[in-house]
Amino acid sequence: MKHELKKAEDNVSTVMRFVLLGFSDLSKLQGFVFGVFSIIYLIIIIGNSLVIILTRLDPALQKPMYFFLANFSLLEISYVTVILPKMLVNLWTQDRSISLLECATQMCFSLMLGATECFLLAVMAYDRYVAICNPLYYPLVMNQKMCVQLAVGSWVIGIPVQIGQTAQIFCLHFCDSNKINHLFSDIPPIIKLACGDTFVHEMSVYTVAILFVALPFMLIFASYSKIISTILKLPTASGQAKAFSTCSSHLLVVVLLFGSAAIPYLRPKSYHSAEADKLLSLFYTIVTPMFNPMIYSLRNKDVIAALRKILS
């Protein structure tokens, strides 16, 4: 496939259009992969939309925990919509090209929403910490104003930093190849295409990853350390089981997300493998958003009860 080139003033050829290789190595399975991903996309939209509807309609779910869960479901829909439709178009048309502007836009929104996801999970952990460790103060601390402020803060905190990082990445010169060996526009595979010394940009990526991935994870770890310590001090086994059940779903989602999403950004460049990165990106961009509504609903009696009310 021909790619457009633009001669820069310093006589270096700058790529103006990229090619997302994606699943090009599975040429005989393009239709099957398209069908599977289309079904997954529908499941993600329906499952997360159902969580949002339930938390809005059922009075029993008018609690801070479910307010944050609704935000999380909206985030999952947004994040997958930034990535998956373009992937489906590429599979259907077999035209894997993407313009520089489209590539930058997709990267910017995926990074912003990824940062939101990390901080929103930290906020949800803090909510569980207050509910279990300071139950008498919970209605005062997690009031409506505080919940809205925490949710809005999670949504906007990454916007200026990720816009700046995206601009920095796309100020690089991409000299030789325009083929991105990945499923979508992401930082590690695009930096690989840059010519010249990219050390400063790589250090910038690590710094931002520590800020938006490691910091929320440490906050979550601190919250759950206190939560587990408090639960173990409860006098009855039934009380311990009930307390664990309220936060086990969230903890499972945290492990799945951070375990798969942090590796591509915090791993040294020399250890990057295109196939491994594709598998990890599939996990945190598609698999976890599909299973998150199931994890939260199937393990939550209030959500199941609300679903039964609507169905009946």
Tens of pLDDT along 56-73?
Answer: 988 888 999 999 999 999
Q: Is the pLDDT of residue 308 over 70?
A: yes
Tell me if 302 is assigned to some domain: yes
- How far apart, in Å, are the Cα atoms of 182 and each of 25, 71, 272, 293, 294? 12, 28, 12, 27, 28
Count of CB atoms situated within 10 Å of the CB of 249: 19
Q: Residue range 190-213: average pLDDT?
A: 85
What Rg do the C-alpha atoms of the chain give, in angstroms?
21
Total tally of structural domains belonging to the chain: 1
Is residue 11 a part of any domain in this protein? no
Q: 143-152: long-range contacts at Cβ-Cβ below 8 A with a sequence spacing of 24 or more?
A: 147/64, 147/67, 147/68, 150/68, 150/123, 150/126, 151/67, 151/68, 151/71, 151/120, 151/123
The reported pTM is 0.88
Q: What digits encode the pLDDT tens for the residues 15-59? A: 678 898 887 777 778 889 899 999 999 999 999 999 999 999 888
Percent of the chain at pLDDT > 90 equals: 40
278 or 263, which is more confident?
278
Q: Please choose, from the candidates 87, 150, 77, the residue with its C-alpha nearest in 3D space to the C-alpha of residue 120.
A: 150
* 10 within a domain of the structure (yes/no): no
C-alpha 207/C-alpha 148 separation (Å) is 28
Q: Is the pLDDT of residue 264 over 80?
A: no
Q: For residue 4, is it within any domain? A: no
Asked if residue 30 is part of any domain, the answer here is: yes
φ/ψ of residue 255, rounded to 5: -65, -45
Tell me if 40 is assigned to some domain: yes
Answer whether residue 46 is part of any domain.
yes
Residues whose CB falls within 8 Å of the CB of residue 65, separated by 6 or more in sequence, listed in order: 124, 127, 128, 131, 246
Domain of residue 69, CATH code: 1.20.1070.10
Q: What is the span of the domain harbouring residue 104?
A: 18-311
9 falls within a domain = no
Distance CA 173, CA 97 (A): 18
**Cα-flanking dihedrals φ and ψ of residue 197, to 5°?**
-80, 120
Average pLDDT over residues 97-112: 93
